[in-house]
Amino acid sequence: MPHDFMPGLAGVPAAKSAISDVDGTRGILEYRGIRVEELCAKSTFLETSYLLLFGRLPNSSELARWTQDITHHRRIKFRIVDLLKCLPEHGHPMDALQAAVAALGMFYPGRNVKDAENNYWSAVRLIAKLPTIVAAWARLRHGDEYIPPRDDLGFSDNFLYMLTETVPHPLWTEIFDDCLILHAEHTMNASTFAGMVTASTLADPYTVVASAIGALKGPLHGGANEEVVAMLKEIGSAGNAERYVNGKLDQKQKLMGFGHRVYKVKDPRATVLQELCVRLFNVCGTSPLYEVAVAVEQLSAERLQDKGIYPNVDFYSGIIYDKMDIDVDLFTPLFAMARVSGWLAHWLEQLRENKLYRPDQIYAGEHNRPYVPMERR
């Protein structure tokens, strides 16, 4: 039966899922039916990851066990540290993360994805170890020592500690944790789909997550947060924003951190992230990037709102991380540290009724061509 060709599979449902939902015209994002704004106000990243994976909020003993399991699996084997040390220090952290996650799969017996117990521990290891890998790489590439995790610290303060060797201000921890919640899941996006395609072959979860990390890297997806900060730095001051925005749009170029396949209003995550910027700056002083960002948002509104192009999740997140002195090329790995929960939730959901992804194509080439011998080409 012939089908319409939908470039980018836009609007084509690829799965039934109960994990998250986006209302792109009203700007609503829910995880398991709960609005992300409410989760940011009341939950933590670890509790939210439990919600995503297991479908409901944990009771206190479930949360205690989940927290303990994650906390006790944060260490990475010295061979993973050695592997990171062998990678070129100028390489991109997403490539180091992808290589280390793929290598993790060689250390743990997670091959039988039909074993629920095994799957639980694979999910725990992946959520627990990604931050340790990201922090280890961030230090090793500068010639600094790897800092192992501290069991007395929570998920977000431990990550910031492993990165900087300093226990962060509680407000930084809270804001960073909210950033992780906002990045934890987002329906059928490119990286989730990439992971699901790999998962549909019944590959192990380390390979699934390595595939998803590869897809997240590109500038049309998670990589946009780096490009936003580069753009804001290039603009330099709010006064330069008008010339820059008009110049880009006149040349039909895209503004990074704007636009979304699903949202036709401002991304609700961008709204929360903007509020987090303000909270952070009230304590730590403002950031020149923020003033530029606000100017770009206002100026672009006049020209882009009619097309339904508004700031997306990547527009304000980088400003927060930049204020926390986190290297720009670590922004997408931070995204992966959070999104691994969503990837794994989709992996577990899909395994319940797995079907190998094998889409069709519309052949647009020739048939019955003769093989031309080398001397006649």
Q: Which residues are catalytic?
A: 260, 314
Cβ closest to ligand ACO, residue 1 vs residue 6: 6
- Burial of 8 (C-beta count, 10 Å sphere; 0-12/13-18/19+): exposed
Cβ closest to ligand ACO, residue 118 vs residue 240: 240
235 binds ligand ACO (CB under 6 A): no
| CB of residue 308 to ligand ACO, shortest distance in Å | 8
Q: Looking up tokens 């006790």, which residue turns up?
A: 72
Q: Which token pair is 310?
A: 């508004």
> With the CA atoms of 322, 326, 332 and 336 taken in that order, what torsion angle do they form, in degrees rounded to the nearest 10?
-130
Cβ closest to ligand ACO, residue 203 vs residue 292: 292
Taking CB under 6 A as the criterion, the residue among 41, 220, 278, 283 binding ligand ACO is: 220
Which amino acid is it at 177?
D
Q: Are 136 and 85 in contact (CB under 8 A)?
A: no
Size of the site for ligand ACO (CB under 6 A): 18
Taking CB under 6 A as the criterion, the residue among 73, 111, 169, 261 binding ligand ACO is: 261
Per-position x/- string for 291-330, each x denoting binding to ligand ACO as judged by CB under 6 A, each - no binding? -------------x--x-x--xxx----------------
Cβ closest to ligand ACO, residue 136 vs residue 313: 313
| CB of residue 219 to ligand ACO, shortest distance in Å | 6
270 binds ligand ACO (CB under 6 A): no
Taking CB under 6 A as the criterion, the residue among 105, 131, 149, 257 binding ligand ACO is: 257
Taking CB under 6 A as the criterion, the residue among 221, 271, 279, 288 binding ligand ACO is: 221
Contact stretch for ligand ACO (CB under 6 A) within 126-134, 220-228, 341-349, 350-358:
220-228
Among 96, 218, 185, CA closest to 146: 96
Cβ closest to ligand ACO, residue 6 vs residue 362: 6
- Burial of 277 (C-beta count, 10 Å sphere; 0-12/13-18/19+): buried
Q: Looking up tokens 């204020």, which residue turns up?
A: 323
Cβ closest to ligand ACO, residue 93 vs residue 257: 257
222 binds ligand ACO (CB under 6 A): yes
Q: Are 174 and 313 in contact (CB under 8 A)?
A: no
CA angle 255, 298, 231 (to 5 degrees): 30
Query: Which residues are within 8 A (CB) of 234 and not within 5 positions of it... i.e. 6 or more apart?
Result: 244
C-alpha span between 123 and 69 (Å, rounded): 10
Q: Which token pair is 233?
A: 């730095």
Taking CB under 6 A as the criterion, the residue among 96, 241, 255, 336 binding ligand ACO is: 255
Contact stretch for ligand ACO (CB under 6 A) within 20-28, 155-163, 166-174, 252-260:
252-260
Query: Which residues are within 8 A (CB) of 7 and not within 5 positions of it... i.e. 6 or more apart?
Result: none
C-alpha span between 242 and 151 (Å, rounded): 49
Contact stretch for ligand ACO (CB under 6 A) within 46-54, 89-97, 232-240, 254-262:
254-262
Q: Are 70 and 58 in contact (CB under 8 A)?
A: no
Contacts with ligand ACO by CB under 6 A lie at 220-222, 224, 254-261, 304, 307, 309, 312-314
